[in-house]
A and B are shown apart, each in its own frame.
Chain A
Amino acid sequence: MSLQRFILKRTLSIIPIMFGVSVITFGLFHLTPGDPVTQLVALNPDVTAAEEAALRERWGLSGPVWQQYLDWITNVLVGDFGQELRTGREVSDIVWARLPETVALGLFGWAFALIIAIPAGIYAAVNKDQFGDTVSRFLALSGISIPNFWLGLMLILIFSLYLGLFPVLAPSRQSLLSPEMLWYLILPGITIGTASAASIMRVMRTSMTEELNKEYVTAARAKGLPERTVILKHVLRNSLISVVTLAATLTASIVAGSVVVEVVFNWPGLGREFIDAINQREINVVMAITLFTGFFVILANLVADIVYAALDPRIRYD
């Protein structure tokens, strides 16, 4: 199968996956009790049952679930994600407004993860079973195990409150690309990237170790190539394949991690909006963000598959 056909096939498969995601999320959402009306008026002694019913009617929350889903999906298919019920604001506006913040945070975390993980992985593989390797494996294990909300709070405590190097609040009057903002992004970026860095480092180390034992490495060394060239030019390239897959999968965990990190660092991205929306039972917002992140994760995996081919021309798509 040619690359073009592969891409086409995978792109088409996005449709049933997204459909599945939407049905499951919508269904799960309705299994959880409460709706925006309960949130808004339930504990207000002045609201009568009739007023509550009228509000449900107006917001389209009174029919059976399948009916509500059909109404929703029909609108989505023509590009209308509906409104935030309480405020009447367009959901697509909300998502677009939040997107740059989350993308910036995600990219920062992702870059941090790769910059730390790849050199550390190489170092650990080359110095396998020596002291440096043990230390880096210990750090990797800690990185995976530490919950990121806790790490975030600790970083704030040490670097913002004790050392005063970073502000606690994002410099909100600055543009996203200003130096102040990039400086501020360091702590949340580290927080969100740490777990990924740890996973990538471990995979990098394993696949690098495997490659180092292969015959072509011995041949290259025998040929008299400097060790540096052997590692960086031959072994690294071959070991990167598994890292690429992992890095793509980790996109999902970075997106998921942003939900927590954005709350801790008061970062006004999609993750914070998502939490608010769930708490307020704003179904349209929840659905839109879920679909969007789902789409993004699928896309990242597709890109990973394509990059495979670029790294290893032997991989064929059939």
Chain B
Amino acid sequence: MPSRHNASDSNQNINRRNVIATIGAAGAASLAGCGGQSNGGDGGDGGDGGDGELFPLDVQIEVNADNSDRLQMVELIAESMEQSGYFNTTVETYEWNTYVGRVLDPEYQNNGVIPCIGLSGTFNPGSFCNALHHSDNIGACCNLNGINDSELDDLIDDARYGVDVASDSQLRGERYDEVWNYLAEERYSSITHFDLATAVSNTDVHGFEMWPFAEGTYSYNMFAPQDEQVMWLDRDNAAGDSDLSDLTEGGTMRIAISANVESFDPPHSSDTTSTLAQGFLFEALITSDSEGNVYPWLAESYEALDTQDIDRTAYADYMSTVGTTEEGAVDTDEQVIIQHPEDSPAEDDEVRVLLPDDATEAAEDGTYGMQYRYNLQEGVEFHNGDELTAEDVVATYEYVENSVLAPQTFDSLLTVVQIDEYTVDLYAQVPDAEAERSLPGRSILSSSQIQEVEKGNIDPREGNTPIGTGPYEFSEFEDEQYYEVTKFDNYWTEQKGVSEAFSWFDGSGDFPDGPVIDDFEVEIVPDDSTRSGALQNGEVDSTYGLNTATLDDFKSSEDFLVYGVETGGYEYIQYPVNVAPFDDARLRKAINHLIPRERIVENVLNGYARPAWTDLPALAQGSGTADADALEEEIRPTNEYDVERAGELLDQVAADN
């Protein structure tokens, strides 16, 4: 049952205004110039003096109840809208699963309500516009209110797909700038803020830096020559301004993570803690620095050999026809690489699909979007002593078929073809500017292990020790309790030396040839307060994902260091654009001006977030804009808290009604 807080209840309303006014009078800096001044005068006039009909408008905002920060944020937005005098707001809350089911229903758009939800984006700038706004994602994640704007669809597609953007990153940035400007003009959704990822370590941990994605926090810190990043333990000297020349080797680092490791099998799990565990053991063909730039890793080098101007219908000749089930699933046990864009499994009895063997055939015949060639490092040893060859890469990508990671892999990948022992080609389905980052992103597994185990069973609970090429090898695991990894003696970068292994490395001579910590002991501790207790008590050296109030305690202590960096996590509300009067962009922009972004960040999130002045967070600026500063300068005014401007816009809307 949804619970209801009706902010338009008059008594409550008066009380709340009083409360806010009192806080304002008490001098809370962040409130100055916000609700305090504006709630009395013009707001009230707008409400009473409008053309009668439209305002005050009843607006319902919906949110899941279990995320208290998000709920508080929504209540703050509702309150701010209420105070303008133009709106009577209701906040409706749902249990998480109910909520997800509700907002992903394609009919949801007809309810005329404003949902609020959070998503996590990546280095791919598309993850901040596509999921929310592309018409392909209506009834899926996360175009909740049925935004169907073909001009916008084209803008989003043209920023990622096409021969031109795939080969010209400047052009790609410009294309994305068009997207952000278009979105600012239409304001279908309002992104409120970008999250900060945080970790806390005691001062024994030196050289720690925050990585924007929790799952990579520790694997990034153990050894990342692309950013000249490495952490070490020194239990005698406190960390602070230590540098590489102080580096000491050895030791056991104990960390606490927030959830069990669902699986050690890389493509058969996507949860944060599983990926975090796999980060010690496995490596991919490439790696990435903290800005999302790609560096060859298990591949010594790579190059884009060819790009062809085709779309997915070009594979029609290679496709097979298969049936569909009543529930709208494609009836095949094989991985569907591409489904013909003109067919729909929900509506048709038969659909055309490209299956793995056909995809390879197409690529070999010369039908593909892009061809990338990877030259593997020679002498890379797996934990079982085998040497890495192209065969392992091919087997890995076959192993990804029908796994949890298959959807995002075969979103862009066509097929993988072995050229010789140390050379492999990866093909993209269409010319795709994201291909360089997304195609080679999978953890490389050992082909001999793949042959031995059943799919999905590379896991100690199934009696199989995970085998990768990573700097640590699996040592022990007790389900729901802890796991341990130990430094791998024959780790390849240590054999070669870091500057030998990576031709792009131009860092300090002090930088080590591999990770320097001997062992990691990882405790699985779901409860936040227990995790912070264990850290305080010295039972672990580091943890992440603590709540913001606890972080302040650690911040004020001399024995701990709190690290934070802006991530791709973001929250947004989306306007019901298909229901009047929300079809009017001026109304949406007005509400956007009533979102107190700074207050949300300061008061609700204790400063552990950044207001979303544009729709593009720092981590995706590398490929998401031609000029980040210019973009912010241009778009920020449209996202500022501005009651006056909101009032003007709403008066215009009222006048036209």
Contact = CB atoms under 8 A, between A and B. Distances in A.
Interface string B451-462: 000001101011
Given A33-B98, A57-B325, A89-B461, A266 B330 contact: no
A47 B141 contact: yes
Contacts of B95: 32-33
A97 B101 contact: no
B478 interface: yes
Given A45-B137, A161-B533, A266 B346 contact: no
| A interface, size bucket | 35 or more
Nearest to B131: A45
Interface in A124-163: 153, 156-157, 160-161
A263 to B, nearest CB: 6
A118 to B, nearest CB: 32
A87 B263 contact: yes
B411 interface: yes
Contacts of B381: none
A43 B141 contact: yes
Interface in A270-312: 272-273, 276, 281
A42 interface: yes
A50 interface: yes
A168 B325 contact: no
Contacts of A41: 407
A83 B462 CA distance: 13
Interface in A19-56: 32-34, 38-51, 53-54, 56
Interface in A40-83: 40-51, 53-54, 56-57, 62
Given A43-B142, A45-B141, A272 B523 contact: no
Interface in B74-120: 95-98, 100-101, 104, 117, 119
Contacts of A263: 526-527
B411 A156 contact: no
Contact of B411 (A46, A56, A265, A273): A46
Contact of A53 (B130, B329, B530): B329
Given A57-B325, A167-B539, A276 B100 contact: no
B98, B457, B529: most-surrounded residue (chain A CB, <10 A): B529
B130 to A, nearest CB: 7
Interface stretch (A169-177, A227-235, A251-259): A169-177
Given A87-B262, A276-B260, A173 B325 contact: no
A43 B339 CA distance: 21
A11 B224 CA distance: 63
B456 A54 contact: no
B327 A264 contact: no
Interface stretch (B160-168, B479-487, B554-562): B479-487
B123 to A, nearest CB: 15
A51 B336 CA distance: 9
A307 B104 CA distance: 56
B329 A268 contact: no
B407 A46 contact: yes
A273 B480 contact: yes
A164 B328 contact: no
Given A50-B328, A87-B262, A160-B537, 7 more contacts: A42-B104, A44-B141, A44-B270, A88-B457, A167-B537, A169-B523, A264-B529
